[in-house]
A and B are shown apart, each in its own frame.
Chain A
């Protein structure tokens, strides 16, 4: 090679970069994405509506999430559930609770509102007191409500 210098002597100087650490990092990234992508894509998929003035809800283990996909199918905590089984499943969960009677609803944005109303109706008849309509923050915006911003700041300060 014309560029290499000192290749002929006893002590050689290599001009090639050491790519081994980079390959290590790339392999780790590859493994991570191989694990997370199927987990994210599996089962339930919905694009929630966008909003600006949203209330942050830190995720907790006790949260129940009802998904409604673009076909109107129900998923309770990402598990597909038949429409007629939903009332009983909700009743089992919320009858045991005296506090925290909130159900998060993650519904597809292009659904008819009637589909969401039906789910809200089932929820209200089976022990749910509050429905949290999961929405995405519109990129580059921040809630104009003072309490939301304070809650979001508290969330990032203490992870």
Chain B
């Protein structure tokens, strides 16, 4: 190379020492590799139509509503379900059903974590769409 001076024995090289730079770049690479997979995860909830059409709503008889009363008293379409039976009961319902829609109507006094838990169980049992009924829906 034209620039190299004294490359003979015991000579000086004027090439920069890149080893520390590579060290630092590798550390940065590792840090970004750790941060990258922290992606967002969520449970999607379909919201009610804010402008419902006047008149009676379409009579949808076979929809499934999970009601969560105070203290996590759960019932699926008025049928009481205990906490540990929820997963198996959901599976029984949704395995033969083509429509994987569930409405979750939870009492406001429950803990958010518990409501999410129930929705989580529902997704595990095959529910694809979780709906939240309008706030002042008929009691």
Q: Which of A45-59 contact B (CB under 8 A)?
A: 49-59
A21 touches B19 (CB 8 A): yes
A150 interfacial by beta-carbon distance below 8 Å? no
**A112-B31 contact given A53-B120, A57-B42, A131-B47, CB 8 Å threshold:** no
Complex Cα–Cα for A49 and B113 (A) = 5
> Chain A nearest CB: distance from B27 CB in Å?
5
What count of chain A residues pass the 8 Å CB interface test? 54
Q: Is the interface of A mostly helix, strand, loop or mixed?
A: mixed
Q: Is the interface of B mostly helix, strand, loop or mixed?
A: mixed
A59 touches B39 (CB 8 A): yes
A111 interfacial by beta-carbon distance below 8 Å? yes
Q: Which residues of B contact A73 (CB under 8 A)?
A: none
Complex Cα–Cα for A146 and B135 (A) = 32
Q: Which residues of A contact B134 (CB under 8 A)?
A: 124
Among the stretches B1-9, B57-65, B73-81, B101-109, the one at the interface with A is B101-109
Q: Which of A70-109 contact B (CB under 8 A)?
A: 102, 104, 107-109
Q: Which of B85-130 contact A (CB under 8 A)?
A: 106-117, 119-121, 123-124, 126
Q: Which residues of A contact B47 (CB under 8 A)?
A: 120, 123-124, 128-131
Q: Residue A125 contacts which of B50, B113, B132 (CB distance < 8 angstroms)?
A: B50
Q: Which of B22-60 contact A (CB under 8 A)?
A: 23-24, 27-28, 31, 36-37, 39-48, 50
Q: Which residues of A contact B135 (CB under 8 A)?
A: 117, 121
A132 interfacial by beta-carbon distance below 8 Å? yes
**A130-B116 contact given A28-B27, A57-B39, CB 8 Å threshold:** no
What count of chain B residues pass the 8 Å CB interface test? 41
B124 touches A134 (CB 8 A): no
Q: Residue A110 contacts which of B19, B113, B119, B124 (CB distance < 8 angstroms)?
A: B113
B27 touches A57 (CB 8 A): no
Q: Residue B27 contacts which of A29, A113, A133 (CB distance < 8 angstroms)?
A: A29
A24 touches B20 (CB 8 A): yes
Complex Cα–Cα for A115 and B135 (A) = 12
Complex Cα–Cα for A121 and B48 (A) = 9
B31 touches A134 (CB 8 A): no
Q: Which residues of B contact A53 (CB under 8 A)?
A: 120-121, 123-124
- 7 nearest CB pairs, A to B: A114-B108, A132-B42, A51-B120, A54-B41, A124-B47, A53-B123, A49-B116
Can you list 26 residue pairs at the A/B interface with Cβ under 8 Å? A21-B23, A24-B24, A25-B23, A29-B27, A50-B116, A51-B43, A52-B124, A54-B43, A55-B44, A57-B41, A59-B40, A109-B113, A110-B111, A112-B108, A113-B109, A116-B115, A120-B47, A121-B135, A130-B44, A130-B47, A131-B45, A131-B47, A133-B42, A133-B44, A135-B116, A136-B41
